Amino acid sequence: MASISLFPYSVVQQISPLARDNAYKRIYSSKTTRITVNAAESHVRRSANYEPSSWSFDHIQSLSSKYTGDDYVARANTLKDAVKTMIRKAGNLLRTLELVDELQRLGISYLFEEEISNLLETIYYNYYEFPEKWNKTDLNLKALGFRLLRQHGYHVPQEIFLNFKDKNQNLNSYLLEDVVGMLNLYEASYHSLEDESILDDARDITTKYLKESLEKIDGSIFSLVSHALEQPLHWRVPRVESKWFIELYENRGGASPTLIELAKLDFDMDKNQNLNSYLLEDVVGMLNLYEASYHSLEDESILDDARDITTKYLKESLEKIDGSIFSLVSHALEQPLHWRVPRVESKWFIELYENRGGASPTLIELAKLDFDMVQAIHLEDLKHASRYVSYISKHNDI
């Protein structure tokens, strides 16, 4: 987006080069000194010292995303209903936990907080509350359930993993082929509390095991293991992680088309909302859009809408801003730049520009010098006009 112009209309270009040169001779030159300013023949766009906005006009137009339309909202609601049915009919314990994990990693679990909360409460009291319950489950179920339940505030003790090592403190042989179980134990170990040595040992053993297993596995499980070894799930940024996992999940066997569609749709809708929110924080960008909207032609409804939205936004932003940007916004709301008298506007802007940080001394000096020179020319012309009026008046009296 273009920056706010330094001088709204050219002061330097309002008088011809010859007239300006003669003016300098009359006003500023002596017998020994002469100052000459060559005015550019073509109009040159001036610029203030704001950093260029990252929002181009085309990009602003693109933010009117299709993902905000009623059809897409309705489709998202339909998909959510379908997923709620999936949750109710998940069936066995492993599939239920896997579904909750998929919803979390796809970034859509927040849409089903109540359903997931009720589900995990039931699972905790039926399978993980006491040792006699969890002893009946295998390592994969223990680890996956442990991680999900701890994430949701349930206290599952570390002793659930007492039997993953043999008498020699090595990994039990029956676990050597269970890559998924070891991966879940690895992820679970990062939810340890202080002095939970069983989980500390589990982290060391599973890290070594998973690194060695990379040579023997492929496909989606290879991607999951290598991704986890780079950084455990517990340390990752959820929204970034969900983008990665959506792509992985879509390309692996047995993926649910409903979950894929909802995850993609939700991600795009959320991204669009975030972009619009970010735009609303760009006061300079919104101010430029406000000024641009006053250059609309007939039936340009996008610019009409932009004018309404930016006017409301800029009025509300006055309470949050100060300094030169406050002056620019309040000045623009009084009257847009397109409607102002250029000469009067330049005088106001010279003062504002001089007092803000980062102003160019060269531009300030030239602007002041040019303004004074033009004022002097106008005074000279006014004197001539006054004499002419006086002369006419005398002759009329005669």
The token pair that represents 390 in the structure block: 């006086």
Radius of gyration of the chain (CA): 35
Is the model's pLDDT at 163 over the cut of 90? Answer: no
Highest mean pLDDT pick, 54-58, 79-83, 284-288 = 79-83
3-class secondary structure, 92 = coil
Q: How far apart are CA 369 and CA 12, in angstroms?
A: 10
Decide whether 17-55+282-397 matches 67-273 in CATH topology: yes
Phi, psi of 156 (to 5 degrees): -105, 120
Distance (Å) of CA 191 to CA 45, 160, 186, 260, 287: 58, 13, 10, 28, 47
End-to-end CA distance of the chain, in Å?
64
The amino acid at residue 348 is W
Domain boundaries, the chain: 17-55+282-397, 67-273
Band of residue 91 on the pLDDT scale cut at 50, 70, 90: confident
pLDDT tens digits for range 323-361: 888 899 999 999 998 998 887 888 888 888 888 878 888
* 140: helix, strand or coil: helix
The fold of the 17-55+282-397 domain, in CATH, is Glycosyltransferase (1.50.10)
CA distance to 143, 179, 238, 269, 334, per residue, from 190 (Å): 11, 17, 16, 32, 58
Task: Give the CB-side neighbour count of residue 69, counting CA atoms within 13 A.
Answer: 7
pLDDT of residue 5: 44
Confidence grade of residue 244 (pLDDT, cut at 50, 70, 90):
very high
**Number of neighbours of residue 36 by Cβ within 10 angstroms:** 11
Q: What is the pTM of this model?
A: 0.58
Please enumerate in sequence order all residues whose Cβ is within 8 A of that of 249, keeping only pairs 6 or more positions apart, or say none: 102, 105, 106, 255, 259, 260, 263
- The domain made up of 67-273 has a fold known as Glycosyltransferase (1.50.10)
The pair phi, psi for residue 171, each rounded to 5°, is -65, 135
DSSP class per residue in 3-54? PPPSSSS-STTSS-HHHHHHHHHHHT--SS--------SS------SPPPPS
Whether residue 10 is predicted with pLDDT greater than 90 in this model: the reply is no
Q: How far is CA 17 from CA 12, 14, 24, 45, 105, in A?
A: 9, 9, 11, 19, 69
Length of the chain: 398
Confidence (pLDDT) at 122? 94
User: 95 pLDDT exceeds 70?
Assistant: yes
CA dihedral 134, 136, 142, 146 (to 10 degrees): -20
Cβ atoms of residues 55 and 277 within 8 Å = no
Share of residues in the chain with pLDDT > 70 (%) = 74
Least confident of 55-69, 262-276, 381-395: 55-69
Q: What is the pLDDT of residues 257-308, one digit of tens each?
A: 999 999 999 998 887 776 555 655 688 888 999 999 999 998 888 999 899 9
Average pLDDT, the chain: 81
Cα(227)–Cα(248) distance, rounded to whole angstroms?
A: 11
Q: Looking at the predicted structure, is the pLDDT value of residue 34 above 90?
A: no
